[in-house]
Structure 1
Amino acid sequence: MTKVIGLTGGIGSGKTTIAGYFNEMGISVYIADDAAKKVMQSNEIVTAIKGVFGTEVFENNALNRAKLADIVFNDADKLALLNAIVHPAVKADFENWIFEHKVEPYIIYEAAILFESGRYKECDIIITVTAPLETRIERVMNRDKTTREHVLKRINMQWNDEQRIAKSDYIIPNLNHKIAKEEVVKILKILNIKQNHS
């Protein structure tokens, strides 16, 4: 039976980088945000988004993700409406994906809002990636070419590190690549030991 490792962390914590380290070491990784981008292009989801948010979030029939993000990250109710459209589609996509990886002992499910979405309940193990707040803000500002205010709005929509850590089995402080990679190796060793004795 494949065990699901939930990998999470606040925006800018570097969880996708950490997911990459697991992948380098032979663990298959499912990135929920990438899956969400994919399902949001399907006709069914496009129709549902238009029904809730109108056509103004589309340009030339393509979803303007920046415009949609501006709306939902300023209004918790609208974010909940978007999640109600997208999350079930991502869940179905993941169930198809995991079926293709059912011979593997562990897989990684990487999601920014693992706890907020309730998906953590379906994970066997949970890992939270942390990084100092200022580091996270700087990373996202550079990555998304956005303002500090916009990043802080997104951070405030998510659980904080203390909340995530309280429900996690392992913590990876992502201060630099070397330390983070060493933590990944340590966790894999522990999981392999557990696996060999189960």
Structure 2
Amino acid sequence: MSFLLGLTGSIGMGKSTTAQMFAEEGCAVWDADAAVHRLYGEGGAAVAPMGAAFPEAIEGGAVSRDRLKEVIARKPEALQRIEAIVHPLVAADRAAFISQATADIVVLDIPLLFETGADAGMDAVACVTIAPEIQRQRVLDRGTMSAQAFEDIRARQMPNAEKCRRADYVIETDTLENARRQVQDVVRDIRDRLLHA
């Protein structure tokens, strides 16, 4: 039975980089965003139900994220219908990954871990964090999002301080070296707990 570690953190906090560090420590890592990409891709499990609900969002046999954003911009209430379709499919993908994992620690990278109540199924939760001004700079430096879009996303996410308060481990991603050291500490702590369980 693997130890389930939920990994969360707001946009631009360094979660993907941190998840990669856990993988390098021998953990199995499942990524919620990657699961959504698989589900939305050609032949993905979300294509048919999304096509039935939002035919305008289908492009080339796949769900177009850009078209979905346009649907939500026109009809904000559509977001709830989208989530009702996608969340159970993502949960099934996650359950399949866990059932096949052979690593002692399974890291579940879920941006909206607390917001969706997924923390209830975890043995522990790690939250990545960084100062708000660095977070904002990182996101804007990517050049893929406007300052307004970033603020909109941040407004929909649980405040960072609340996520950190609810987490069992907090990993500060100010430098790669510091983040890696903290990841190694978390892995060591969990492996100690498993050894003495």
- Give the TM-score of the pair, scaled to structure 1: 0.89
Give the structure 1 partner of residue 113 of structure 2: 114
Q: Provide the C-alpha distance between the structure 1 equivalents of 2:24 and 2:75, rounded to a whole number of angstroms.
A: 38
Q: Which amino acid aligns with 2:157?
A: Q
- What SS does the aligned partner of 2:7 have? strand
Give the structure 2 partner of residue 194 of structure 1: 193
Contact in 1 for aligned 2:29/2:107 (Cα 8 Å): yes
Deviation at 1:23, TM superposition (A): 0.4
Deviation at 1:50, TM superposition (A): 3.0
Q: Provide the C-alpha distance between the structure 1 equivalents of 2:33 and 2:3, rounded to a whole number of angstroms.
A: 20
Q: Which amino acid aligns with 2:69?
A: A
Q: Provide the C-alpha distance between the structure 1 equivalents of 2:118 and 2:58, rounded to a whole number of angstroms.
A: 29
- Give the TM-score of the pair, scaled to structure 2: 0.90
Contact in 1 for aligned 2:32/2:90 (Cα 8 Å): yes
Which residues in structure 2 correspond to 1:1-198 (within 5 Å)?
Answer: 1-41=1-41, 42=43, 44-55=45-56, 57-69=57-69, 71-72=71-72, 77-101=77-101, 103-143=102-142, 145-198=144-197
Q: Provide the C-alpha distance between the structure 2 equivalents of 1:20 and 1:134, rounded to a whole number of angstroms.
A: 24
1:99-150 per-position Cα deviation (integer Å, ceiling 9, x unaligned)? 111x432110001001111111110010000112222222223335220101
Contact in 2 for aligned 1:73/1:153 (Cα 8 Å): no
Count, aligned residues: 196
Q: Which moved more, 1:186-195 or 1:166-175?
A: 186-195
Q: Name the CA shift for 1:60/1:191 in 2 (closer, same or farther; >3 Å).
A: closer
Deviation at 1:61, TM superposition (A): 4.0
Contact in 1 for aligned 2:47/2:61 (Cα 8 Å): no
Contact in 2 for aligned 1:13/1:129 (Cα 8 Å): yes
Q: Which amino acid aligns with 1:23?
A: A
Q: Provide the C-alpha distance between the structure 1 equivalents of 2:137 and 2:70, rounded to a whole number of angstroms.
A: 19
What RMSD in Å do the two structures reach over aligned CA positions? 2.0
Q: Provide the C-alpha distance between the structure 2 equivalents of 1:75 and 1:172, rounded to a whole number of angstroms.
A: 37
Gaps of 5+ in 2: none
Q: Name the CA shift for 1:108/1:144 in 2 (closer, same or farther; >3 Å).
A: farther
Q: Which amino acid aligns with 1:88?
A: P
